[in-house]
Amino acid sequence: MKKLLLIAITGFFIGSCGVKKPAPQQTITGKESITLKFVQINDVYEIAPLNGGEYGGLERVGYIRDSIKQKFPNTYLFLAGDFLNPSLLGTLKVDGERLNGKQMVDVLNALDLDLVTFGNHEFDLKEKDLQKRLNESNFKWTSANVRHVTKSGTIPFEVDKNGKLTPVSDYESFTAIGPNNEKLKFGVFGVTLPSNPQDYVYYGDIYDDAKRAYNLAGENNEFVVGLTHVALEEDMDIAKRIPSLRLIMGGHEHNNMLEKQGSTIIAKADANAKSLYVHTLIYNPKNKNLTLNSELVMVTDKTPSSPKVARVVEKWTALMDSKLKEFIDNPDEVIYQASVPLDGTDDASRSKQTNLGEIIARSLAYAYGDRAQAGVVNGGSIRIDDKLSGDITSTDIFRILPFGGSSLLVDIKGDLLKKVLDYGMGQSGTGAYLQRYNISKDAAGAWQIGSDAIVDQKTYSIAFSDFLLKGLDIPFLTPDNPGIVKVQYAKEGENAADIRKAIISYLNSLKQ
């Protein structure tokens, strides 16, 4: 690979997005230079604007990208993983089959997305459903370390278009056209962290495979960049191992950041397209120099929409609205004001007590009035993988718990309750970690309800999510366990029959 020189990194902003412009800077330009624009998004689970239209929305991303491309033909849109799951829309059924990201692929096709890499949430889908999404994609996929485990062996994932199989490659090459019709080839490789093990997925080493793909791509391209879905510290390590890598467009974290490791810039935008990065690369084929400018652009209600993309988004949101109205009269009703963000991120929900987890568990108990002494819910049922702030609507509650479920009032012996709580604590990092209301540990580390220690032979009335009593997360927690004295099931129409309704009812009670 030809040696590249990173001259400067700074922010410049599109005036139409209403963002501040910094002082002009000096860059290498000339008639022979070729300008490329990389538009980067990552961790996008929602297709429409959020928080009452305040931010996000893929139709707005389409407008920004199209506006740039009108002036700079060599404009490319990249997505750094996590988009097929989780989402409320993805759980809805059409013709008896869950969407499982079908709506997202449809919108991204309309968006003319260029390239994605796998995020860990892509593998929430069953093998057959992921294959359907791959086949429906008009955009390209890349991964150097993710492989498909099949009966005949471990091979790259493949996209099937009318019987023609195209393997997902270690890297993708693109050809930009210069002002004098000269061609410039550049490469993009992808890697994904192995945080979501599945029987049908093999994960290679992110560092070894990133370096291998970078070197392979460098043999056929003027320069190579990364499109990764790994933790920031892993991006940093990749940059250390590949010091000539100039840009990593990353995902997995949900807040925007622009970090530097050596001569490598690592950029991550806000989740759900609250923001995006626009990277301007100016390559001089004569002296082989590259300049890189990185711009964070906020996607807000002041950003216009792409009519083409908006039509597809509206088709799917209309479906969601009609489905939600089968459960609640006013999906857009504001039911809570979150002055402190409600933490629904996967990492937090599955490893520590959160404010959102406490609200959910409290709502399970609230559905049974004074009869429930506490509430418990599995952290894995919280599927939004985001933080919510400001106006919280009924729809947001369905986004948080798209699979629903009911609240059960369980009379349980103290010794079994402590065993359940200990097991949940030991499952930190998994969906079996328990979010709790009115249950904590005292200074000595003993479990208590309120301020009273849990007594082994005493019976307690605890509200559990019905999923927990199926024995899937906690194998011994089933109705036939001798430590369970009685299970009360919610009747149809009661708030306890749907966790989402129980939460909405509880939050509305706070306004009274």
SS3 state of residue 105: helix
Is domain 15-21+37-315 annotated with CATH 1.10.3720.10? no
Sort residue 289 into left (φ over 0), alpha (ψ -120 to 50) or beta: beta
pLDDT at residue 479, rounded to an integer: 97
CB atoms near residue 465 (< 10 Å): 25
pLDDT at 195 over 60: yes
pLDDT at residue 31, rounded to an integer: 64
Cβ–Cβ under 8 Å, residues 383 and 403? yes
pLDDT at residue 43, rounded to an integer: 95
pLDDT at 127 over 60: yes
Assigned token pair, 360? 């959910």
pLDDT at residue 446, rounded to an integer: 97
In this structure, the strands spanning 201-203 and 146-150 are: antiparallel
Model confidence pLDDT, tens digit, residues 429-477 = 899 999 999 999 999 999 999 999 999 999 999 999 999 999 999 999 9
What is the C-alpha R_g of the chain?
25
Query: Mean pLDDT of all residues in the chain?
Result: 92
Model confidence pLDDT, tens digit, residues 27-65 = 334 568 999 999 999 999 999 999 889 999 999 999 999
Report which of 2, 79, 12, 88 is spatially closest to residue 46, judged by C-alpha positions: 88
pLDDT band at 13 (very low <50, low <70, confident <90, very high): very low
pLDDT at residue 391, rounded to an integer: 92
CB atoms near residue 129 (< 10 Å): 19
Q: In sequence order, which residues have a C-beta less than 8 Å from that of residue 276 and are 6 or more positions away?
A: 39, 40, 41, 61, 64, 269, 296, 297, 299
> Where is average pLDDT lowest: 19-33, 78-92, 201-215, 305-319?
19-33
Assigned token pair, 247? 């840009």
pLDDT at 66 over 70: yes
- Alpha carbons within 13 A on the beta-carbon side of 215: 8
> Candidates 3.20.20.120, 3.20.20.70, 3.90.780.10, 3.50.50.60; correct CATH number of 329-509?
3.90.780.10
pLDDT at 9 over 80: no
Model confidence pLDDT, tens digit, residues 409-428 = 999 999 999 999 999 999 99
pLDDT at residue 328, rounded to an integer: 87
CB atoms near residue 442 (< 10 Å): 11
pLDDT at 320 over 50: yes
How buried is 153 (Cβ within 10 angstroms: 0-12 exposed, 13-18 middle, 19+ buried)?
exposed
Work out the percent of the chain whose per-residue pLDDT is above 90. Answer: 85
pLDDT at residue 383, rounded to an integer: 87
Mean pLDDT of 390-397: 93
pLDDT at residue 14, rounded to an integer: 36
Model confidence pLDDT, tens digit, residues 226-269 = 999 999 999 999 999 999 999 999 999 989 999 999 999 999 99
pLDDT at residue 386, rounded to an integer: 83
Looking at per-residue pLDDT, the higher value among 164 and 286 belongs to 164
Cβ–Cβ under 8 Å, residues 1 and 41? no
Model confidence pLDDT, tens digit, residues 324-378 = 998 888 898 999 999 999 999 888 999 999 999 999 999 999 999 999 999 999 9
User: In the chain, where are the structural domains located?
Assistant: 15-21+37-315, 329-509
Assigned token pair, 482? 């001798």
In DSSP notation, 223-264 reads: EEEEEEES-HHHHHHHHHH-TT--EEEE-SS-S-EEEEETTE
Cβ–Cβ under 8 Å, residues 488 and 494? no
pLDDT at residue 346, rounded to an integer: 87
Mean pLDDT of 3-18: 35
Mean pLDDT of 69-86: 97
pLDDT at residue 467, rounded to an integer: 95
Looking at per-residue pLDDT, the higher value among 84 and 30 belongs to 84
Mean pLDDT of 401-405: 91
